[in-house]
């Protein structure tokens, strides 16, 4: 029986984003899903490119090093809020957002009309 631990299946990409190795799924995505109450199997169903053993490995490591991971999540959230603030401060953002929302509503209305036909 082999009692050595497998390496943690996480890799930082060229932008410093931590992803499950061999996938485009981020560590933040896995952790947020888990923290929202999803089981490892449920996470695997939502992200089939991530093998179940990798999800268990990531979650086990998270549970053993929770404070470090929680600090990482806080930092990612802080950076995301700053990026959003910068985007919302750009000239023309409100008008662009309104056009996108109108386009989304039109697409949903078209889809609903097609389903009823």
pLDDT in tens, 25-68: 999 999 999 999 999 999 999 999 999 999 999 999 999 999 99
**65 DSSP 8-state letter:** S
Residue 117 has pLDDT above 80, yes or no: no
| pLDDT of 90 higher than 90 | no
Q: Can you tell me the distance from the alpha carbon of 86 to that of 26, in angstroms, rounded to the nearest whole number?
A: 23
Annotate 31-43 with b (16+ C-beta within 10 A) or e (fewer).
Answer: bebbeeebebeeb
Share of the chain above pLDDT 90, in %: 72
Residue whose pair of structure tokens reads 């082999």 in the numeric block: 2
On whether residue 94 sits in a domain, the answer given is: no
Residue 89 lies inside a defined structural domain of this protein: no
Has residue 96 been placed in a domain? no
Question: The domain containing residue 20 runs over which residues?
Answer: 10-64
| Helices and strands of the chain, counted as H and E runs | 5, 2
The encoded tokens of residue 12 equal 């930082």
- Indicate whether 24 pLDDT > 90: yes
User: Does the residue 16 lie in any domain?
Assistant: yes
Angle of helix 66-88 relative to helix 52-64, nearest 10 degrees, comes to: 100
Residue 73's pLDDT is what?
94
Number of structural domains in the chain: 1
Residue 116 pLDDT level (bands cut at 50, 70, 90)? confident
């Amino acid at each position: 029986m082999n009692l050595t631990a497998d390496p943690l299946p996480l890799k930082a990409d060229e932008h410093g984003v931590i992803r499950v190795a061999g996938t485009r799924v981020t560590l933040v995505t896995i952790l947020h899903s888990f923290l929202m109450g999803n089981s490892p199997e449920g996470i695997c169903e939502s992200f089939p490119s991530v093998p179940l053993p990798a999800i268990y490995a990531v979650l086990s490591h998270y549970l053993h090093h929770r404070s470090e991971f929680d600090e990482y999540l806080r930092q990612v959230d802080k950076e995301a809020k700053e990026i959003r603030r910068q985007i919302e401060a750009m000239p023309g953002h409100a008008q662009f957002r309104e056009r996108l929302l109108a386009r989304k509503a039109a697409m949903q209305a078209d889809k609903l009309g097609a389903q009823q036909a």
